[in-house]
């Protein structure tokens, strides 16, 4: 399935995976500089351009005083075109913590609109899980699992330092923080609700 790849204005240290010919590339405001660094041509440039400081040729310009973040503008555009898989670069290590939190909410917005997204940072990735997420052997470092948007029921963790079976996670207690990969293949799954999973890039 074709992906919508969104470049935002935060920290960027290269692609996790190569861009594919059928990827739809959106440069959101300051994310345009990352696209220029890669030397690729975006399919869409949008935003209010308060971060970039100038308006690129052919960009869709929105007012600074608006309800949507630039990332959300990109999401709405991608959803309208029929994309259901989103990858965000420059959406984690920005100077604004509030924008990072808003990007977590954007992931939940995608879930509730029948889509899925992943924030790819310089050192970590963040994604949502509504069924299961598998990790291959050899993973190292910390993985954290949080309930978002309500209770997450039937949560099962296997192959990690702290395993669990059929537990409930709630948004008001961080029980799933700071688990660890053991080198074995691992699975995070949930029966109902949504998990926010943070793992090493």
Q: Are residues 142 and 106 in the same domain?
A: no
Q: What would the mean pLDDT of 85-110 be, rounded to a whole number?
A: 93
Q: Are residues 27 and 101 in the same domain?
A: yes
Q: Are residues 105 and 135 in the same domain?
A: no
- Residue 87: give the domain boundaries: 4-122
Answer with the one of 94, 122, 150 that is the final residue of a domain. Answer: 122
Give the model confidence (pLDDT) of 48-65 as tens digits.
998 888 999 999 999 888
- Whether 1 shows a pLDDT value over 80: the answer reads no
Q: Are residues 42 and 135 in the same domain?
A: no
Q: Are residues 138 and 114 in the same domain?
A: no
> CA triplet 98, 31, 118: central angle to 5 degrees?
65
Alpha-carbon torsion (103, 128, 42, 76), positive or negative? negative
Q: What would the mean pLDDT of 148-175 be, rounded to a whole number?
A: 97
pLDDT score, position 51: 85
Q: What ranges in 39-182 are assigned the alpha helix state H?
A: 70-80, 97-111
pLDDT score, position 52: 87
Q: Are residues 136 and 79 in the same domain?
A: no
Q: How many domains does the chain have?
A: 2
């Amino acid at each position: 399935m074709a992906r919508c790849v969104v470049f935002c204005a935060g920290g960027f240290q290269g692609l996790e995976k190569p861009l594919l010919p059928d990827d739809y590339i959106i440069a959101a405001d300051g994310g345009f500089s990352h696209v220029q660094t890669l030397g690729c041509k975006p399919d869409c440039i949008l935003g209010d351009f308060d971060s970039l400081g100038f308006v690129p040729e052919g960009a869709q310009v929105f007012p600074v005083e608006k309800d949507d973040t630039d990332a959300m503008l990109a999401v709405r555009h991608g959803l309208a075109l029929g994309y259901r898989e989103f990858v965000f670069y420059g959406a984690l290590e920005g100077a604004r913590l509030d924008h990072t939190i808003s990007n977590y909410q954007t992931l939940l917005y995608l879930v509730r609109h029948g889509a899925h997204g992943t924030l790819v940072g310089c050192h970590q990735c963040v994604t949502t899980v509504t069924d299961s997420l598998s990790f291959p052997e050899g993973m190292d470092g910390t993985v954290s699992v949080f309930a978002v948007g309500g209770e997450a029921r039937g949560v099962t963790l296997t192959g990690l330092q702290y395993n669990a079976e059929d537990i409930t996670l709630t948004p008001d207690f961080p029980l799933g923080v700071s688990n660890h990969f053991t080198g074995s293949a691992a699975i995070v799954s949930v029966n109902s609700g949504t998990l926010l999973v943070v793992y090493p890039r």
